Amino acid sequence: MNAPLRVGVIGVGMMGADHAHRLATRIGGAVLTAVSDPRADQAAAVAARYGARSEADAMRLIAADDVDAVLIASPGVAHPEQLLACIAAGKPTLCEKPMTMDSESSVEVLRAEAAAGKPVLQIGFMRRFDPGYTEMKALIDSGELGRPLLLHNVHRNKQVPNPDFRSEMIVRDSLVHEVDVARFLFGEEITAIQVLSPAPSSLTGAGVVDPQVAIFTMAGGGLVTSEVFCNSQTGYEVRCEAVAERGSVIAGQPWNALYRTAVDGSGGAWGGQLPDDFTQRFARAYDIEVQAWVDAARRGERIGPTAWDGYAATAVCTAGMQSLVTGERVPVDLVAAPA
Ligand code: ISE
């Protein structure tokens, strides 16, 4: 395809608006043609900013003649219907995580894509495009460090803006990234998950279990620990350490390479700066991810995390939500991959 890829964005909350801006201003070979959101005024405002049109109905956006490809950043509950429509339309689709909210709906999407005979889905696990994580993956795959034994992840959000925030959202919406990272770096499935928690921080919402620590067992016997803390108060921190037989490697520390000194109340300080949220921490990863998606779509190809990756991550999180309630280790049983 020589013409630019005409992209429609569904959902213009924090992530969708960020992607709309990226598509309209930074991504080569793409043009933002339409945006859709049930909050019509928000959709109209984003559309007006970039000379796109707003479309009240997501299904109409997917079917529209001026939309070649779809970026889905709506809430996860809306994903199954929208993904099935994108598959039916045969349009390249980049869908933010989680692919769907539970294993059953993810299986439905997975099977629909397989039955359509043309893979169109890329799932938005952006850490796979973050330079630190990709370098780490290459180093592990080179074999230089020997077999990976352990992964330790830290994933902290400054605070959650949502007053309706619930404990299981930490597993389903935040931990899901570490689930994908573990599968990506080890190159194998997770067979069991256990979610534990200390006495919660007094600074989280009433009844919210935060922080949480999840332990994954990998198919090859590796172990993964992931701390997820959604009300750390300090800023957005994501890092990952892999421990292998002949060495270890850390991605994401410090989050940018800047070392700086500054004058503070006590006279002087040194260090870097914590970003406020994921749009800053992973700005480069999102740029690389969306550019790679656009380039592949224009070549008529599909790259990056697949519907299977989306399903497997959802299945682990579904088991994780069960473990959050019982404290028990819960096995993960995956369906057979479609032929
Ligand atoms: C959010 O939905 C994201 O996907 C962010 O990457 C994650 O860090 C955050 O915890 C989630 O709520």
Average pLDDT over residues 133-143: 97
Give the angle 51-53-56 at the CA atoms, nearest 5°: 150
Q: What's the 314 CA to ligand 1 centre distance in angstroms? A: 15
By CB atoms closer than 10 A (0-12, 13-18, 19+), residue 262 is exposed
What mean pLDDT is reported for the chain?
95
Please give the structure tokens belonging to residue 258. 């800047």
Average pLDDT over residues 248-258: 78
Residue-level pLDDT at 267: 76
Cα 16 vs. chain centroid, distance in angstroms?
13
Phi-psi label, residue 247: left if phi above 0, alpha if psi -120 to 50, beta otherwise: left
Average pLDDT over residues 256-262: 70
Residue-level pLDDT at 123: 98
Nearest CA to ligand 1 atom 2: 173
| Nearest one of 111, 324, 311, 301 to 209, comparing CA atoms | 324
Q: What's the 255 CA to ligand 1 centre distance in angstroms? A: 16
Residue-level pLDDT at 268: 79
Residue-level pLDDT at 53: 98
Average pLDDT over residues 169-193: 98
Report pLDDT digits (tens) over 231-243: 999 999 999 999 9
Task: Using most ligand atoms within 8 A of CB, pick from 15, 77, 177, 317 the residue to mutate for ligand 1.
Answer: 177
Residue 133 near ligand 1, beta carbon < 6 Å: no
Highest mean pLDDT, choosing among 236-245, 252-261, 268-277: 236-245
Q: What are the start-end ranges of the E strands in the chain?
A: 5-10, 30-36, 53-55, 69-72, 93-96, 121-124, 148-156, 190-196, 212-218, 223-229, 237-244, 247-251, 260-262, 269-271, 330-331
Main-chain phi, psi angles of 211, to 5 degrees: -80, 175
Residue-level pLDDT at 339: 85
d(C-alpha 141, C-alpha 119), whole Å: 26
DSSP SS3 for 127: helix
Residue 165 near ligand 1, beta carbon < 6 Å: no
In contact, 195 and 214? CB cutoff 8 Å = yes
Cα 152 vs. chain centroid, distance in angstroms?
18
Q: Which atom of ligand 1 is nearest to the CA of 160?
A: 12
Residue 157 near ligand 1, beta carbon < 6 Å: yes
Residue-level pLDDT at 10: 98
Average pLDDT over residues 201-219: 96
Residue-level pLDDT at 260: 73
In contact, 143 and 119? CB cutoff 8 Å = no
Report pLDDT digits (tens) over 57-101: 999 999 999 999 999 999 999 999 999 999 999 999 999 999 999
Identity of residue 261: T
Q: How confident is the model at residue 156 (pLDDT cuts 50, 70, 90)?
A: very high
Q: What's the 97 CA to ligand 1 centre distance in angstroms? A: 9
Residue-level pLDDT at 41: 97
Main-chain phi, psi angles of 252, to 5 degrees: 90, 20
Q: Which atom of ligand 1 is nearest to the CA of 228?
A: 10
Nearest CA to ligand 1 atom 3: 174
Q: How confident is the model at residue 257 (pLDDT cuts 50, 70, 90)?
A: low
| Nearest one of 114, 118, 116, 122 to 338, comparing CA atoms | 114
Q: How confident is the model at residue 274 (pLDDT cuts 50, 70, 90)?
A: confident
Q: Which atom of ligand 1 is nearest to the CA of 230?
A: 10
In terms of residues, how long is the chain?
Answer: 339
Q: What's the 230 CA to ligand 1 centre distance in angstroms? A: 9
Q: How confident is the model at residue 17 (pLDDT cuts 50, 70, 90)?
A: very high
Residue-level pLDDT at 277: 95
